Structure 1
């Protein structure tokens, strides 16, 4: 999973398709899970809310998009719009009295239905034309959120998120919100690790490599692309809702703008298309690189000012 050890031999296909083909992998996964579970207790609330929580959420968003781009080979330039659909649907559902669990599923289902409806027409084109089509969805959702008050509340509107309650227990603490995001991240990660070993995953990879060659072998490329859009949109919708309830605490159109879509796309590309672990690295790099560069530039500016003042003296 994390590396490949020499001298590992498999004598059957069942051994090859195991989730942990290398025995040590499962213990490494256990160690990572323990670190993720105990990390909130080893840092302040500021670092938890400013770094760890957004990293987990954006890694989940990158994983969700990676299913579509990395496995199925279909580009999407408007993924923030998918997350916005899930977020606004969940918030409105809870405001109408729906339980939090139902609101999350409804947000994902709404994003999936709209994603499939869009995919029916968009998947008839490829490459640059598909990219432009997905970009149009981003601008369409942005327009709806800012011009339809019943949905987005208007241009300057901010919709406060109700307090989430999982299985009857309200989630009001920073650690509780982190565990909620971590739990959903674990679900998406497990799905991504397993889907490659299924017939669906192999069909998606075949479509990604050569869709017409896959069609010759009996793989309905259009059907599997549509499935990829559906599942990726569902994951994106739920992730957008998790982002609103655990990190933002409110929803505004600016939180799901085209800039966010480009950032998620960059996370997937930087981490590596089709790489589960790379989605976490890509999200960490895109989130932390601006902070690192800002601190570095500030430090260089201070050093330059100090040098100039010393030379003047």
Structure 2
């Protein structure tokens, strides 16, 4: 079989800690990267701008939230506010003449700073109280952005993002160029998070996620690591918000970062799989693309069958099916799409000798 551990020999700790010890995993990763990079070459402009580009950005944001929820076990219902801080800070920096790369990093730092301030207060409580505290952050940031003209220009104002220029020299004017910029950010974030779990920091977060008081007993400073998880997660969210503003929206308004966006991000993490980088990507693809595909499929089915269905019903059926799919996935595998993939992978690894699993 093409998917076996034969030939994999762990002769050192470095070899044992490889991210992809199996040759098939490395080949599959190479294929996925080639497909992702060449998307603008074979996907139409409409699908590139309406589907591929935002999905990559939302996957980046979901990975940042997953570090906090899946890595440290802390709920966050105000992640859209974190992205809003990054988006507005980076756009203001860009309009002030700061290069694109520094503006994006500045947006991430602004989001990390403000997110950590809220996190320091929120982490005094746990569970449902923590969720309510982060929800309060969402409403406070929403109110501040909408009612402080220096930030947004007003509740109905639109703030135009400067054009993307790499290194201050290379203008990025095409949809394909903006997609590649977003993809590069996504790859950097994914590489960072894949390696976090192999570090002492990642193991400390995992200990806190499982039992925070047990972590304190063995010498892990629970509050400090939780706060650092809030800082890192907020930084990634701010960077994702900046990329969203520069590469996708190109003009931002307060309505783009309301509570429903935070709920969608939480859904991406839960449906994809807590604590999984691949789960964040699968969850973003499912939450973002499923309604579009369901709506397109239903319209095609109605036209092919010449069915007499009202437009209102056509608009609501995909939403109902979409919700049923989410519930179905969670009933079949509560650990998300990443766990379903892992189950399939493990089955192939030992097939046809099931008793080895």
CA 1:4/1:80 → structure 2, altered by over 3 Å: closer, same or farther? Answer: farther
> Residues 144 and 152 of structure 1 are in contact (CA less than 8 Å); yes or no, is this contact kept in structure 2?
no
Which segments of 5 or more consecutive residues in structure 1 lack a partner in the other structure? 309-313
Q: Give 1:9 shift.
A: 5.7
Q: Give 1:51 shift.
A: 1.0
> Residues 122 and 133 of structure 2 are in contact (CA less than 8 Å); yes or no, is this contact kept in structure 1?
yes
> Residues 245 and 252 of structure 2 are in contact (CA less than 8 Å); yes or no, is this contact kept in structure 1?
yes
- 2:138 maps to which residue? 138
- 1:171 maps to which residue? 172
Matched pairs, number: 306
- 1:202 maps to which residue? 203
The one-character-per-residue Cα deviations of 1:191-241 (angstroms, maximum 9, x if unpaired) are 111000001011111110111111111111111111110011001001101
Distance 2:298 2:176 in 1: 33
**DSSP-derived class of the 1:77 partner:** coil
Worse-superposed segment, 106-115 or 35-44: 35-44
Q: Give 1:305 shift.
A: 5.8
Larger RCO (CA within 8 A; separation ≥ 6): 1
Q: Give 1:302 shift.
A: 4.9
Give the superposed CA RMSD: 1.9
- 1:228 maps to which residue? 229
**DSSP-derived class of the 1:170 partner:** strand
**DSSP-derived class of the 1:279 partner:** helix
> Residues 115 and 231 of structure 2 are in contact (CA less than 8 Å); yes or no, is this contact kept in structure 1?
yes
The reply on whether 1:269 has 2:294 as its aligned counterpart is: no
- 1:311 maps to which residue? none
- 2:50 maps to which residue? 50
Q: Give 1:65 shift.
A: 0.6
Which segments of 5 or more consecutive residues in structure 2 lack a partner in the other structure? 310-357
> Residues 5 and 22 of structure 2 are in contact (CA less than 8 Å); yes or no, is this contact kept in structure 1?
no
Q: Give 1:296 shift.
A: 4.3
Distance 1:5 1:72 in 2: 32
CA 1:306/1:32 → structure 2, altered by over 3 Å: closer, same or farther? Answer: closer
> Residues 3 and 24 of structure 2 are in contact (CA less than 8 Å); yes or no, is this contact kept in structure 1?
no
Distance 2:244 2:257 in 1: 10
TM-score normalised by structure 1 residue count: 0.93
Distance 1:199 1:58 in 2: 28
- 1:15 maps to which residue? 15
Q: Give 1:5 shift.
A: 4.4
Worse-superposed segment, 183-192 or 286-295: 286-295
Q: Give 1:20 shift.
A: 2.0
